[in-house]
Amino acid sequence: MSGDGGGVRVEVRDLTKRFGSVTAVNGLSFTVEPGVVTGFLGPNGAGKTTTMRMILGLVTPTSGTATIGGRPYADLPHPSRTVGAVLDSSSFHPGHVARDHLAVYCRMGGYPLDRVDEVIHQLGIGEFADRRTRGFSTGMRQRLNLATALLGDARVLLLDEPSNGLDPEGIAWLRSFLKGLADQGRTVLVSSHVLSEVEQVVDEVVVVRRGELVASGTMAELSSAATAAVVVRSPDDERLAETLRAESVQGTRATSVERLEAGTIRVEGLTTAQIADLAADHRLRVHELTPERSTLEQVFLRLTSDPRESVR
């Protein structure tokens, strides 16, 4: 079961899930590596939760496989010792105090009851460990969820939207917590529909849209896809746009040229200098050249926005 240095790899291959006529996940493949935090990103309804539930055997795939250390979840000899997971924002009996909730699952996993106190300490939830969960805030619930997932000291952690509903302080805490887990060589997959909440902690990303993979790789790779654009103001905008579309400058050609409004063009794939030179060669006037730096968030939004919707 162990891969590199005791790390456990999660592999999703050609995973498809249809609920009636709705295809929630379509031919999805990706790998989650140990020792890093992988962000599983996409808008709500992109199939993230369904995919995670398929990895954990809670939802049966229509086709394809999901394995953890080479085995399907249900075939793991010690499931809760191998994978810790958080799927629902609240999954506690409201009449249970936090400590009892943990004790139920501690026994179910076959762990010594000392583990309850250990995870209570680890998650810093001692303050409300003896209170009934019905009155818990979102932050308390998320921490109790994490505590439950950590009972088995698992090598793999799958967390569905763990930052949902957390305040900035909670998010900062979660980041360092997840980082710490990955630094111990664990495999950490964290889903989110908001890139900025996990941007600082994830090393790898898997981006999905409408159940299909749209991008995967390191955060650096995703950043490099953040193509710089230049906004050009010119009274000769029409001719300039034609020229930019037709001509190449030092072997590079604009990847996108669009007229925003009369007198303004947005160009991708060329630098300001290249655009100015090209305009001079064709004796076209340029009044202003403004580099537009697209943020990672914009890249994310572009990747995950539905092309059918952006036509509107």
Judged by CB under 8 A, does residue 96 bind other proteins?
yes
State the residue for tokens 């007198």: 263
Stretch of 75-83, 194-202, 224-232, 274-282 contacting other proteins, by CB under 8 A: 75-83
Alpha helices in 199-236 (DSSP H): 219-224
Q: How far is the CB of 133 from other proteins (least distance, A)?
A: 9
Judged by CB under 8 A, does residue 95 bind other proteins?
yes
Judged by CB under 8 A, does residue 97 bind other proteins?
yes
By beta-carbon proximity to other proteins, the closer residue of 89 and 298 is 89
Judged by CB under 8 A, does residue 63 bind other proteins?
no
- Cα-based distances in Å from 211 to 49, 86, 115, 139: 10, 20, 37, 29
| Contacts to other proteins from residues 141-160, by CB under 8 A | 148
Judged by CB under 8 A, does residue 235 bind other proteins?
no
> Of 139, 146, 101, which Cα lies nearest the Cα of 121?
146
Q: How far is the CB of 64 from other proteins (least distance, A)?
A: 15
By beta-carbon proximity to other proteins, the closer residue of 16 and 50 is 50
Q: How far is the CB of 84 from other proteins (least distance, A)?
A: 8
Stretch of 76-84, 121-129, 135-143, 181-189 contacting other proteins, by CB under 8 A: 76-84
Judged by CB under 8 A, does residue 1 bind other proteins?
no
Among 30, 40, 92, 300, binds other proteins (CB under 8 A): 92
Among 14, 88, 127, 167, binds other proteins (CB under 8 A): 88
CB atoms inside a 10 Å sphere around CB 305:
12
The SS3 call for residue 129 is: coil
Judged by CB under 8 A, does residue 107 bind other proteins?
yes
Judged by CB under 8 A, does residue 50 bind other proteins?
yes
> Of 29, 26, 50, 28, which Cα lies nearest the Cα of 158?
50
Judged by CB under 8 A, does residue 91 bind other proteins?
yes
> Of 207, 174, 170, which Cα lies nearest the Cα of 188?
174
CB atoms inside a 10 Å sphere around CB 205:
24
Instruction: Show the tokens assigned to 307.
Output: 């092309």
Judged by CB under 8 A, does residue 214 bind other proteins?
no
Among left, alpha and beta (phi > 0; psi -120 to 50; other), residue 292 is beta
Judged by CB under 8 A, does residue 209 bind other proteins?
no
Render the burial of 59-87: b for 16+ CB within 10 Å, e for the rest: bebeebebbbbeeebeebeebbbbbbbbb
Phi first, then psi: give them for residue 243, nearest 5 degrees. -60, -45
How far, in Å, CA of 224 to CA of 247, rounded? 24
* Residues of this chain that bind other proteins (CB under 8 A): 49-50, 53, 56-60, 73-74, 76, 79-80, 83, 85, 87-88, 90-97, 100-101, 103-105, 107-110, 148
